[in-house]
Amino acid sequence: MGICPNCGNWVDEGDICNHCGGSGSYSYENDNDNESDSASYISMSESRCNEYSNKAWDYYLEFKEEDALYYINLALDINDRHANNWNKKAIILEGMKRYAESEKCYDKSLELSSNNLVQDNKTRMLYSWAAQLIEESKKLPNGLRKLEEAKEKNFKAMNARPGDNSEENLDKYLTQRDTINHYIDYERKYQRNLEILKAHDKYELFTLTGTNFYENSKKLRSGIPLKLVKEPDNEFDNDAIAVYLGDEKVGYVANKEYTKYELTSSASELQDKIPNVIQGEYLFHLNRYSAIQFEIGRIIK
C-alpha cells in the first residue's frame, strides 16, 4: 500500500492508480513511514480540497457557474463531509436556477453543521424559487399548479428562517405570500370565466370594443342588458354592429382578430346569424395579465 505520486491517492504496491491511472512502486519500509505518509496524504488532500473550493468560488464570482460547479464537485469528491462546501455548491446551483438541487445541498450542509447563515441562504433561495414559479405560472394556459408550488416554497422559506437569529426580514416573505394568494384568486376567477365561455357556442358570444370612447360604458356590470344594432352604412366598416346600453352607445362588436377574444365571434361572422337588432347582455371583463384584456358579451336569441 502506498501513495500515488501523481495525485496523492492510496494504491496497492505495484498497482495502477484507479484515480489518475499512474503506475509505479509505492511500497514503504516500516510502519512509521506509513504513519508519516498517511499524515502527509491527509494534509495534501485538505490542501487540494481547499484549492478546489477556492477555485470554485472564484469562478462563481466571475459568473462562470459551470466551472464553479465542476471545482466544487472535485472538492466534495475529496471530502463530502465539508459543510461549507455543500453550502457553496448550493449557492452555485441557485445561481444556475437549479433550485431543487440547491435545496438538497443546503439540507446536506445543515445536516453536517447547523448554521444560521446557511439557513438564511436556504430561505433566500426558496424565496427566489417561489418568485420564478410565479413568473412561470403566467406563461401557462392554467397557472394554478405552479402558483400552488410557489405557495409551498414560500411556506418552506418562512420555516427555514433561523427565527430571531435570521437576518432576513419576515415582512418580505409575508408580502410574497399575499402576492401568491392574490394571483391564485386572480387565476381561479379567469379559469371560471373561461369555463363559462367554453360552455357557450361561439356565435352566442362577442367582444365589446371601443368602450373607452363612450362615457356610459363605465356602467357595465355582469348581467346588464345590452342591445346590438347593425350599422350597414357605417363609413368605416359595413359589417359594423353597435352595442347600446339603453339608448346610449357603449361600443362596437369587435371585428378584427387583435381586438376580439378567440372564443367569440366577430361582427362579420355575426352578419348572417342575427337580425338587424337583437338583445344581449354583458358577461364580464375577461383579464389575465396584459395579454388578455377583453370585454365579453352574450347574444340572447
Residue 227 counted as domain residue: yes
What's the confidence (pLDDT) of residue 36? 53
Average pLDDT over residues 74-98: 97
Any alpha helices (H) in 96-169, and if so which ranges? 99-112, 116-137, 144-160
- Measured at the CA of 203, the angle between CA 197 and CA 205, to 5 degrees, comes to 40
What's the confidence (pLDDT) of residue 216? 73
Element housing 58 (H / E): helix 31-61
Q: Are 195 and 262 in contact (CB under 8 A)?
A: no
21-34 per-residue burial string, b: 16 or more CB within 10 A, e: under 16: eeeeebeeeeeeee
Please, which pLDDT band fits residue 20 given cuts at 50, 70 and 90? very low
Residue 283 counted as domain residue: yes
Other CB atoms within 10 Å distance of the CB of residue 136: 15
- Count of structural domains, the chain: 1
What's the confidence (pLDDT) of residue 29? 43
CATH number, domain at 244?
A: 3.30.70.2330
Average pLDDT, the chain: 89
Location of C-alpha cell 362588436: 253
What's the confidence (pLDDT) of residue 2? 52
Residue 215 counted as domain residue: yes
Residue 99 counted as domain residue: no
pLDDT tens by residue, 173-232: 999 999 999 999 999 999 999 999 999 999 999 999 999 888 777 789 999 999 999 999
Residue 272 counted as domain residue: yes
Average pLDDT over residues 105-113: 97
Residue 225 counted as domain residue: yes
Residue 271 counted as domain residue: yes
pLDDT tens by residue, 32-58: 555 554 555 457 788 999 999 999 999
Residue 285 counted as domain residue: yes
pTM above 0.75, yes or no: yes
Q: Which domain holds residue 282?
A: 201-300
